[in-house]
């Protein structure tokens, strides 16, 4: 929405800055100005001044200066449009309409909004009448004293079917308008409308401009099918674009006076109230998972809102749903952090049992989005007790990172998640070293059972480790150590399919991890790092066998470009050989439907490839070496 200069000027003329600002800052007259303590910094002597004649405020302690619009933007984190809209409503000015239909819709909204305000006052009055005794006891039992009820606009809806309807129609409301506002229910089969909220503790729901747009009701009867009930979608209320407690949260953020202050998203209305009473800016969605609109609204307030969930399974599922929905929308300056409360507590429990300082401290223990995403994928992958499951987890991590629309961030996430995989999901260096020591000390292992006391992952890799690799496999691994840049394009296929040797598969995976950390490591440094990671025995086997492949790309005198071409050819040949061998094994296992022709054809392909590798003819074109 655009506002003309004349509209803004008239708005400022109608409202005195000292009146608008004086609602949140205690001001005292000093000559022709008003003075008070800064709302942006903590100070003991007033250095904040408001001048009605000139229409501005100035804060000497923070250096901030502006008018009533920028004041609301600073203190309540409102957008320019939201601030102007709020002030226009206060000044009694209609917002500029783009067309007659828009003007009519705005007029309709205003009429419905007036009935919402009257409904809230009626609910609040009932809370203090005899009919609201049980609701009052509930609030006090939940640790919410009476002096806080008005702050959050709490009320009570009596049991009768037409209490609110009667009260508002006596004031001139049409039942059809009250149905449209979501206050009444129109029976589908016909009949008279009746109150939507009955025998419920009432929470008013405000939009970003601070207007009541709906209500939430908590059932007083424990046997009620719906513990919480929100108003329906209406002209005023859009669940997916509204956050409970937003205006008060913005006020708290503005009062904090910190640019890095963040907003916390919790699960329930009482949790929002608990956090806000503890000085924490908190909001809640409308009983559903966060929508893209709500996320956009949160990101306008803070670059990294905190999502707080209960520590039970339901809370975990809610966190995972939030991850799924937010992942495509992430940007370098737009993410989320997570807090999982231990012991089955929610913020309301924590405030009542341990007090505001404990609640504030618990909400500081955040987990970054990327770490939470990794934990989700790790949990859903299950036990990583086979190479296939490890490869599956890495594929899941890459797929999750690729979901991010921002390409630069997607690449960074992929590197980070794969790094976490090697840090947290693989066996420890000590476990791997112990496995290698066991192999070399007990060569008789090949003919007997593996010794006791080693991990399942080490046990699974022992048979392959006990045998020397094939020359081509060793040559490829040696080539990757010499030219790790080749891994940039081949990492995924090598990690997924392997090189046909369990120990070397693991070393290649760790080599991939090293290239993610830095792409300028030299051969000697890479070998030193691999040895430190427990791969010294595997490197010895590579050194022993690589020369037997007679691969020209390992020749020191060969220029880098040709060496890389030769290594790429060798990788393709190795993967093709392994694929053909796996296909032959599959055919041999199918005794009942053994296809001799298919078997002979595949075997001929593999043998031809093997001959070209043995003779060296495959290297000529790639490296320039003679056939």
- For residue 251, pLDDT over 80 is answered with yes
Q: With beta carbons less than 8 A apart as the criterion, state whether 463 and 442 touch.
A: no
623 contacts: CB under 8 Å, gap ≥ 6: 552, 553, 558, 562, 563, 565, 566
- Measure Cα distances from 463 to 444, 445, 466, 513 in Å: 11, 8, 5, 24
CA dihedral for 198, 202, 207, 210, sign (positive or negative): positive
**Residue 268 pLDDT:** 87
Q: What is the CATH number of domain 100-237?
A: 3.90.980.10
Among 28-37, 375-384, 508-517, name the one with the lowest average pLDDT. Answer: 508-517
- For residue 306, pLDDT over 60 is answered with yes
- Measure Cα distances from 243 to 104, 119, 615 in Å: 26, 20, 71
- For residue 152, pLDDT over 60 is answered with yes
**Residue 199 pLDDT:** 96
Strands lying side by side in the sheet with 65-66 = 28-30, 33-36, 48-51, 56-59, 65-66
Nearest to 456 by CA among 512, 531, 387: 387
Mean pLDDT computed over 110-127: 94
**Residue 440 pLDDT:** 42
Among 96-105, 117-126, 356-365, 528-537, name the one with the lowest average pLDDT. Answer: 96-105
Q: Ranked by mean pLDDT, which of 116-125, 449-458, 511-520 comes out on top?
A: 116-125
3-state secondary structure of 145: coil
**Residue 623 pLDDT:** 47
Q: Kindly state the DSSP code that residue 424 receives in the 8-state scheme.
A: I
Q: With beta carbons less than 8 A apart as the criterion, state whether 196 and 230 touch.
A: no
Mean pLDDT computed over 316-335: 91
| C-alpha span between 276 and 282 (Å, rounded) | 6
Q: Ranked by mean pLDDT, which of 101-105, 175-179, 463-467, 617-621 comes out on top?
A: 175-179
- Domain residue spans of the chain: 5-91, 100-237, 246-365, 375-424, 468-623
- For residue 6, pLDDT over 80 is answered with no
Q: Which CATH number fits domain 5-91: 3.90.580.10, 3.30.200.20, 3.30.70.270, 3.40.50.11930?
A: 3.90.580.10
Mean pLDDT computed over 477-505: 80
Q: Kindly state the DSSP code that residue 427 receives in the 8-state scheme.
A: P
Q: With beta carbons less than 8 A apart as the criterion, state whether 393 and 381 touch.
A: yes
No. of helices (H) and no. of strands (E), the chain? 27, 16
- For residue 24, pLDDT over 80 is answered with yes
- Measure Cα distances from 212 to 47, 77, 121 in Å: 35, 19, 11
572: how many CB neighbours lie within 10 A of its CB? 14
**Residue 622 pLDDT:** 46
- Per the model's pLDDT, the better-predicted residue between 189 and 39 turns out to be 39
Q: Report which secondary-structure segment, H or E, holds 512.
A: helix 502-517
- For residue 266, pLDDT over 70 is answered with yes
How many angstroms from the chain centroid is the CA of residue 125? Answer: 41
**Residue 451 pLDDT:** 45
| C-alpha span between 225 and 48 (Å, rounded) | 53
Q: Which residue has the tokens 């009701």?
A: 217
Tokens (6 digits) for 361: 């401290």
Per cent of the chain over pLDDT 70 is: 86
- For residue 189, pLDDT over 50 is answered with yes
Tokens (6 digits) for 498: 């392997």
Q: What is the CATH number of domain 246-365?
A: 3.40.1360.10
Burial group, residue 551, by CB count within 10 angstroms (0-12, 13-18, 19+): buried
Mean pLDDT computed over 401-417: 91
**CATH class of the domain comprising 468-623:** mainly alpha
Among 108-122, 383-397, 509-523, 611-625, name the one with the lowest average pLDDT. Answer: 611-625
Tokens (6 digits) for 295: 């996320």
Burial track 489-512 (b if 16+ CB lie within 10 A, e otherwise): ebbbebbeebbbbbbbbbbbbbbb
**Residue 517 pLDDT:** 58
pLDDT in tens, 538-583: 888 888 888 887 788 888 777 888 888 888 888 888 888 888 887 7
pLDDT in tens, 352-381: 888 888 888 888 889 999 999 999 999 888
CA dihedral for 415, 455, 538, 533, sign (positive or negative): positive
- Per the model's pLDDT, the better-predicted residue between 509 and 182 turns out to be 182
pLDDT in tens, 524-539: 888 888 887 778 888 8
Tokens (6 digits) for 517: 């950390």
Mean pLDDT of the chain: 83
347 contacts: CB under 8 Å, gap ≥ 6: 266, 271, 274, 275, 282, 308, 341, 359, 363
- For residue 98, pLDDT over 70 is answered with no
- Per the model's pLDDT, the better-predicted residue between 214 and 608 turns out to be 214
**Residue 99 pLDDT:** 63
Nearest to 201 by CA among 217, 213, 212: 217
- For residue 396, pLDDT over 60 is answered with yes
Nearest to 623 by CA among 554, 573, 576, 574: 554
- Can you name the residues that pair with 337 across neighbouring β-strands? 306, 368
Q: With beta carbons less than 8 A apart as the criterion, state whether 180 and 186 touch.
A: no
- For residue 454, pLDDT over 50 is answered with no
| C-alpha span between 262 and 281 (Å, rounded) | 7
Q: Ranked by mean pLDDT, which of 77-86, 193-202, 410-419, 454-463 comes out on top?
A: 193-202
**Residue 457 pLDDT:** 45
- Can you name the residues that pair with 50 across neighbouring β-strands? 34, 57
Give the confidence band of 616 by pLDDT, cuts at 50, 70, 90.
low
- Measure Cα distances from 231 to 200, 418, 466, 514, 551 in Å: 13, 45, 68, 55, 74
């Amino acid at each position: 929405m655009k506002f003309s200069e004349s509209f803004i000027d008239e708005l400022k003329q109608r409202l005195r800055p000292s009146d608008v600002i004086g609602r949140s800052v205690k001001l005292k007259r000093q000559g022709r100005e008003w003075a008070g303590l800064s709302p942006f910094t903590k100070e003991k002597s007033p250095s904040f001044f408001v001048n009605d004649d000139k229409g501005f405020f100035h804060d000497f302690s923070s250096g901030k200066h502006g008018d009533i619009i920028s004041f609301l933007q600073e203190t309540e984190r409102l957008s320019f449009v939201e601030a102007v809209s709020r002030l226009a409503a206060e000044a009694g000015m209609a917002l500029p309409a783009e067309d007659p239909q828009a003007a009519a819709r705005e007029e309709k909204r205003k009429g419905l909004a007036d009935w919402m305000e009257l409904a809230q006052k009626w609910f609040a009055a009932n809370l203090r009448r005899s009919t609201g005794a049980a609701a009052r006891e509930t609030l006090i039992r939940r640790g919410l004293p009476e002096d806080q009820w008005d702050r959050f606009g709490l009320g009570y809806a009596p049991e009768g079917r037409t209490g609110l309807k009667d009260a508002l129609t006596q004031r001139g409301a049409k039942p059809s308008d009250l149905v449209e506002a979501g206050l009444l229910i129109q029976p589908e089969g016909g009949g008279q409308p009746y109150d939507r909220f009955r025998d419920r503790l009432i929470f008013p729901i405000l939009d970003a401009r601070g207007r009541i747009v709906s209500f939430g009701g908590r059932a007083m009867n424990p046997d009620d099918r719906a513990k919480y009930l929100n108003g329906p979608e209406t002209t005023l209320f859009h669940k997916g674009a509204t956050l409970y407690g937003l205006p008060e949260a913005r006020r708290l953020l503005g009062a904090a006076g910190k640019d890095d202050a963040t907003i916390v998203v919790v699960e329930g209305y009482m949790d929002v109230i608990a956090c806000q009473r503890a000085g924490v800016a908190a909001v809640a969605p409308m009983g559903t998972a966060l929508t893209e609109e709500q996320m956009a609204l949160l990101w306008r307030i803070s670059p990294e809102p905190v999502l707080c969930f209960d520590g039970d399974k339901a809370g975990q599922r809610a966190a995972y749903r939030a991850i799924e929905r937010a992942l495509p929308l992430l940007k370098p300056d737009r993410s989320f952090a997570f807090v999982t409360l231990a012991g089955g507590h929610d913020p309301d429990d924590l405030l009542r049992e341990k007090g505001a300082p404990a609640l504030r401290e618990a909400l500081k223990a955040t987990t970054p989005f990327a770490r939470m995403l990794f934990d989700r994928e790790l949990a859903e992958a299950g036990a990583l007790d086979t190479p296939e499951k490890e490869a599956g987890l890495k594929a899941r991590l890459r797929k999750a990172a690729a979901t991010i629309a921002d390409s630069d961030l997607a690449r960074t996430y992929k590197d980070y998640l794969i790094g976490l995989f090697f840090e947290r999901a693989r066996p420890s260096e000590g476990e791997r070293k112990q496995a290698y020591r066991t192999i070399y000390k007990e060569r008789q292992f090949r003919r007997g059972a593996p010794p006791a006391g080693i991990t399942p992952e080490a046990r699974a890799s022992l048979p392959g480790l006990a045998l020397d690799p094939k020359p081509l496999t060793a040559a490829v691994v040696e080539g990757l150590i010499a030219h790790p840049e080749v891994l940039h394009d081949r990492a995924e296929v090598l990690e997924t399919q392997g090189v046909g040797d369990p120990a070397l598969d693991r070393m290649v995976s760790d080599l991939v991890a090293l290239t993610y950390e830095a792409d300028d490591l030299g051969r000697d440094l890479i070998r030193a790092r691999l040895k430190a990671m427990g791969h010294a025995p595997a490197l010895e086997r590579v050194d022993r066998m690589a020369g037997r492949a007679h691969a020209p790309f390992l020749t020191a005198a060969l220029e880098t470009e040709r060496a890389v071409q030769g290594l790429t050819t060798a990788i393709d040949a190795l993967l093709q050989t392994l694929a053909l061998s796996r296909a032959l094994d599959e055919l041999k296992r199918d005794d009942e439907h053994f296809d001799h022709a298919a078997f002979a054809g595949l075997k001929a392909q593999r043998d031809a490839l093997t001959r070209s590798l043995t003779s060296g003819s495959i290297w000529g074109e790639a490296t320039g070496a003679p056939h």
